[in-house]
Copies of this chain bind each other. A is one copy, B any other.
């Protein structure tokens, strides 16, 4: 695969650039509570994995990653939206997120619902408003991926089935259901990040296919790791309450197959990720850092 290996950016540099852009794009206007609530969760310190994957994919496929900032940041906003609504009392009822009080604990439930709603249209508006360097055709392609993965066919479908599973309503085909949840609840935002990065780089169909399959495996790996962390981690390391999956009887890789099998599965998924990169001669320090970072966290 033809790639641009010049001008490699470190994880820290990407994080700094993304934080700066997020701050720039989200100016506080009237009514201030709304914009402050939106900013609060988006700007919580985080690894910025999704925007970085978007930027890095664009860069390593020979694109100008600067052109991908609006899209990369829009995906972080979308991700934050899912966190705000996930934490609501009627959903996961979580008081903490990334080590800080969750959005509705600070701004109240009504504002948290509305801030989440606002982010769902603010995010694609950032794409159209700040992507002057992209053609209309390219912007529409990016928006179509956003609509597909952010909505009823993507993240939200995964969320709904996840909630069903918490109610103990899944009795048959547990493995298929678990795969569905992981695929949509988590992998879809990885696919969105990586596919849009590739689209902005001008990737061809074959490249898009390869990167989508890589994104899917990495996304599922990330969720299996998340299931493991809920079992083995502490509040300090996690930034949110651990052990909640188990307590709620949630369907997770660990609850279905046990901790050791989950670790095996994760190691396998990482191998498959590296296989794809190696087979197509894709070199990316960033993706290696992401994979090895997860491996370290779950003590694999």
Spot the interface stretch: A14-22, A52-60, A136-144, A286-294. Answer: A136-144
A113 to chain B, nearest CB (A): 6
Interface string of A146-168 (1 = CB under 8 A from B): 11101111001101110110000
Interface string of A112-153 (1 = CB under 8 A from B): 011011101110110010000000110110011011101111
The residue on B at minimum CB distance from A91 is B110
Q: Quick one: which of A113, A114, A121 has the most chain B CB within 10 A? A: A121
Whether A144 lies near B125 (C-beta < 8 A) is: yes
* Contact residues on A (Cβ < 8 Å of other chain), bracket: 35 or more
Whether B120 lies near A38 (C-beta < 8 A) is: no
A9-B125 Cα distance, complex, nearest whole Å: 34
Contacts of A153 in B (CB 8 A): 29
Whether A117 lies near B120 (C-beta < 8 A) is: yes
A123 to chain B, nearest CB (A): 9
Consensus secondary structure, chain A interface: helix
A62 to chain B, nearest CB (A): 24
Determine if A72 is an interface residue (Cβ-Cβ < 8 Å): no
Whether B31 lies near A111 (C-beta < 8 A) is: no
Given contacts A137-B136, A144-B125, contact A90 B118 (CB under 8 A): no
Cross-interface CB contact of A31 among B108, B110, B148, B161, cutoff 8 Å: B161
A151-B88 Cα distance, complex, nearest whole Å: 20
The residue on B at minimum CB distance from A26 is B152
Whether B156 lies near A118 (C-beta < 8 A) is: yes
Determine if A271 is an interface residue (Cβ-Cβ < 8 Å): no
